Every structure is written in C-alpha cells, then in structure tokens.
Structure 1
C-alpha cells in the first residue's frame, strides 16, 4: 500500500481538475482496499474512492480526507464467465472479451475508467449496458464490515443507476463477474440505430465481434469520447448529463414547449423507457437551447465534437467547469422546462 500526503488528485481524473487530498492511498490488492476502508471508517475519516477517475468532478479545494485509489489487477476467464478486479482498465477488458470470442460488452469499447466503476453507474453506450452482462459483484460492505457477493438482480440496476450509486457510502466494489455469450465470434444483436447504420446492417443483426468493437471506437473517437492527451475534447467525463426520462404527461408538456420554440412540425427525440415513460436526448436539448459544439469563451467549453461533453481546454478550474454546467442547465430549463442531471459524481461541489 502506497501513501502520500497533500497529494494532487487532478492527474487521477480525466477532467484533470480538482485540488489535493489530505492523504492518498493506493491499494493494489483486495486486502489492501479493505484495510484502507476499515482504517478510514474506524477513525471517522472521510473517504473518496478513485478508480479510473473518468466520472469525477473534484472541487478546487480538494478533499479533506483519504482518497483511496484502487489499483488492483486480475482477469480470469472461465468458459463464458469473465471476472475482473475493480482496478482493471475497462477498455482493455472489453478488448480481451472480444479476443476471447465472447459477446455482451463489445459495444462498450473505448469507455474510460475502471471495471469496478461500471456497475456503480450501470455504464452503457451504443445499445448495451453492463447490467445485462453482470452476474455478480463482490464488494466490501462498510455497514456490515464484511465482503459480500451481490447478484445482478440484487444490484438493483436502472438507467445509469444502481444499488451502489443509491447508497454511495456503503459499498466498495472489489470484483465484477460478467456472464458473456459464445455466439461463434459474432456480436450480440446490434440495438443502437447509429451503430447499425455505421455497420451497414439492420438493428437486431449480429456482426463479427472485432468489427462491432472497432466501429464503436471510431464512433466514439469522432465525438471526442476516446481518451487522447493531445485532444482537449477528451479532457472531460464523457457525457456530462444523463438523458431525461419523462412520464407521458411530462413528455406532452415538453413536446408543446418544443413546438412553441422550434415550430409546429418540430418533434423531439423519444425512446421507450418502460411503461408510461419516454427518454429524450440531453445532447439534443443542449443543442436546441443554443449551446452548440464548441460553445464558450473561457477555459471550460462544450466539446467541439459533441454537445453532451463539457471540457477542460487546458487551464480550467473546477469552478470554471461548474459555471458552464450551470449555464447549460439553466438554459435548457428555460427553453424546455427540463432540468438536466449531472452524470459525474461531484466531490465537494454541486450544480
């Protein structure tokens, strides 16, 4: 276990933002993770768990406590079951699953961060979510003081949400088990229309696994969603806001606002989101409210490649980022009556 004091946290995040932690502990085994968590809990010290740092917005004042960086490693493949240590790099794990000829997470290629973070946020993109493939999560239960195994059902997954996100002070993920599919080297059925178009197939078709992964990587790169130190469009947390899910009544009111603003023939994006609910596009809302690609004049701006990504152009502070985020939230609310919700975890700050 490695310990540093007054340690910078910005380099551990994809935003490259945030002040220092009083103490930074790097744990390389599950036992070290549990020991560090227990030590913090026993002493009443605030604890911040850091994986790949791709979903964190840390305040400029930093963190008055112990930041625990999970750097555990371990990949085990047994038949169609893939087990990952929480600190494994997610994009590498996806590549391994494709090389092994197993389907189920290939369209989640290129997503930054660690394997242990994926169940917390129920990470999803291009028609796949990890909840469809996760069979078990092994976690340290801080309340019970023991390591527990939760089934996929017990994780209570929903859109960009889980039991872990709903009770963030209780669990620290140690390992994640995925049950994948051997489809003879073919992908899971392609669900996302944009992916299907790029592949030249119909939704529901299967394609070779490697082709699905490479296509998603190209789509993500075109939106600045694949990490590149030389490209400030990737100095972000990816999608900064979740796509709003509305009741039918809320959607009808929203639709009326859209037509008032954009014309009687205007139709907002709408996707099924369970009985009596519809999901619309946060990126569309932001763009139509006037916050287009590249919007902003300061050191924090909307990505030049995708309106859903807020970015650090190199010299930004967290407060610069939050000022932009608040402007976007207020503008979308005024235009369409919908309040956007941030996807990244806020540490010591809020919208």
Structure 2
C-alpha cells in the first residue's frame, strides 16, 4: 500500500479532470492492502477506480480516498473472477480474445471492474446484471468479507443496493461467460444496423466488439486525452422511466421498461433546445459535439461550471416536457 501526500488533487484521477483535493489519498495494489486501508480508516471514505462515473466537488473530499489498483483475473471454464481494480475494457478485450462471449457489447466503457455492479453498467442492450453471478464484498458494517449473489445486489436500471453507500466495498466480481465465442443476442437496433444483422442475432464476439467501439468513438465515448469530447463522465443523465401515458401524444423514441416506458434522455435534451456543443459558463464546459448526453470539460473548467450546465439542461427539459432528468454519475461533495 502506497500513501500519497495529503491534499492530492482529485482532478488528476477523474475522466472529467475535475475535483478538488483529498485530505488523504491511499493506493491499494492488492486486496490485502485494500482491506487494510479500509479497516484502518475512520471517517468518510471514497473508493476510486477509474474515476469515470464520478463528479467531485471543487472543495474535494474531506476524508480518505482509496484508489483501488488491484488487477488480474482467474478463468475456470466459462467462470471468471476478476479483481475490482482491473481496467474494465482491458478485461473485456482479453475475454473476447480468449473466445469467451457475453461482455463484448460493453466494450470501450472506461473505469474499473469493481464499479460495474454498483451502477449496473450497461450499453447497447447489455447490462452487467446479465452475466454477473456474484461478488466478493467487504461489509464495513460488520467488518467481514462476504459473497453477495446477483439476486442480493438488487439490480435495476443503472443501480444496485451498493450505489450511494460506502458500506459495501467490492473486492472481486464473478461472471459466467459463453464458451462458443459468439456475442450475446444483439438487442440494440443501432448496433444491429451497424453489424447488418437482425435483432436477436448472434455474431462473433470480436466482430460485435469492433462495431461497438466504432459506434462509441463516433460519440466521443472512448477516452482520448487529445479529444475534449471525451473529458466527461460518460452519459450524464439516465434515460427516464415514466408511466406509459406520460407524453403519449408526443412522437419520440420510447422503450418497454419495468414500471412504464423508458424515454431517450438525448432526444429530450435535443428537443428542449440543447444541441450538440451547447456551451455552459464561459465556454469552459459544453455538451459534447458528438453526443448530447455527455457534459464535457473544455479545459480550465470547474465542477461548479459543469453543474451549472447540468442544471440548465435539466431545468430546460423539465420546463419543455415536464420530465425530470436525473444524473447517472455519483456526485461527491456537490449536488444538482
């Protein structure tokens, strides 16, 4: 375990490149180091993986930030256990190369493996919940390591029982993959068109991965230090789930969902008057020039700038359509 100097700038550890200092910053390179760091800490703890789904306030975090830097995985047939700090896309690429299918539609997503069950990360018709079997988790409330099954994690759209709390710390994640080297059934229309197949078809996992990466690059959703459109936390707002009769007279994309229908947040934002590249305070932040769901740091921004733009977009959508958008990333020491 390496202890970095106090008052470490968290902007250096997030994909938005925003966030004030941490009172204490600890890097844990093994599971034992991670457990020691958490057990030995009193007061607020912020667990940091790839920093990709996180908005940290300009005042920073008045507590201990634990950077989870564990890595590696163990394959047993089609069962794979992977360390929480492992880079997610490197892991997905390795599974595809090994002829194991199922995760390919989640290619290109930044961040670490341990963060994926917390958010129930999903893209292009696939969610982590589709393949996750269990996690190893340290329960701070009782001071014990325990296994939590997928059912116990309470997965729903972009959430789980772990979201919004530091009581459960993910140590490793287990997935059940497919040994035939084929993708999961293609459920997302845009991806099916890209692949030239019907919905429900299965294709070689490597082919699906390349198609997903190409689509994501076109939306600025694959990290590139030279492209400010990727200086983001990914999709900033979740697609709202509303009752079936809400906006039923408005022609717009809508998809079946538990509890009603899912609307397209990107469509709502664009049709409320916020187009790609729409600028916030001083032009220091803006909607991505490639994808309206990404709020981006154009250089020299503050978290306050980003949140001001987020509020303007949220309030504009609510005024135009009566639908309230909610943030997808975790907001640390800041709020909308």
Q: Same fold (TM over 0.5)?
A: yes
Question: Which residue of the partner structure matches residue 19 of structure 1?
Answer: 20
Aligned partner of 1:98 in structure 2 is 96
Q: State the alpha-carbon separation in 1 of the partners of residues 294 and 166 from structure 2.
A: 27
Runs of 5+ in structure 1 lacking a partner?
A: 259-266
- Cα distance in 2, alignment partners of residues 129 and 62 from structure 1: 31
Distance 2:183 2:199 in 1: 12
Partner of 1:82: 80
1:201 corresponding residue in structure 2: 197
The offset of 1:228, in angstroms, is 0.1
Query: Per-residue deviation at 1:169?
Result: 2.6
Residue number in structure 2 paired with 1:309: 294
Scaled by the length of structure 1, the TM-score of the pair is 0.93
CA contact (8 A) 2:46 2:166 kept: no
Q: Determine which of 241, 246, 253 is the counterpart of 1:269.
A: 253
SS in 1 for 2:246: helix
Q: Which residue of 1 aligns with 2:38?
A: 37
Aligned to 2:276: 293
Alignment of structure 1 residues 324-339 onto 2, 5 Å = 324-339=309-324
Secondary structure at the counterpart of residue 233 of structure 2: coil
Q: CA deviation at 1:31?
A: 1.2
Q: For each residue in 1:263-311, what CA deviation from the matched residue of structure 2 results, as whole angstroms up to 9, or x when unmatched?
A: xxxx11110102x511010000000000000001520100000000000
Distance in 1 (alpha carbons) for counterparts of 2:158 and 2:253 = 19
The DSSP-based 3-state class of the residue aligned with 2:12 is helix
User: Which runs of 5 or more structure 2 residues have no equivalent in the other structure?
Assistant: none
* Alignment pair present for 1:173 and 2:156: no
Following TM superposition, by how much is the alpha carbon of 1:163 offset from its aligned partner in structure 2, in angstroms? 1.2
The structure carrying a bigger helix percent of its residues is 1
Shift of 1:38: 1.3
Which residue of 267, 278, 282 corresponds with 1:284?
267
Q: Do the aligned residues in 1 keep the contact of 2:134 with 2:150 (CA within 8 Å)? A: yes
Aligned-residue CA RMSD (Å): 1.0
Query: What whole-Å deviation, never above 9, does each CA across 1:32-68 have from its counterpart, x for those lacking one?
Result: 111111112xx3x211110000011011111111000
Q: Deviations over 1:47-96 (max 9, x none)?
A: 11100000110111111110000000121111001111000000001101
Q: Tell me the distance in 2 between the aligned counterparts of 1:31 and 1:162.
A: 25
SS of the equivalent of 2:152 reads: helix
Question: Which one of 30, 45, 52 corresponds to residue 54 of structure 1?
Answer: 52
Q: Separation in 1 of the partners of 2:260 and 2:333?
A: 33
> Where does residue 228 of structure 1 map in the other structure?
224
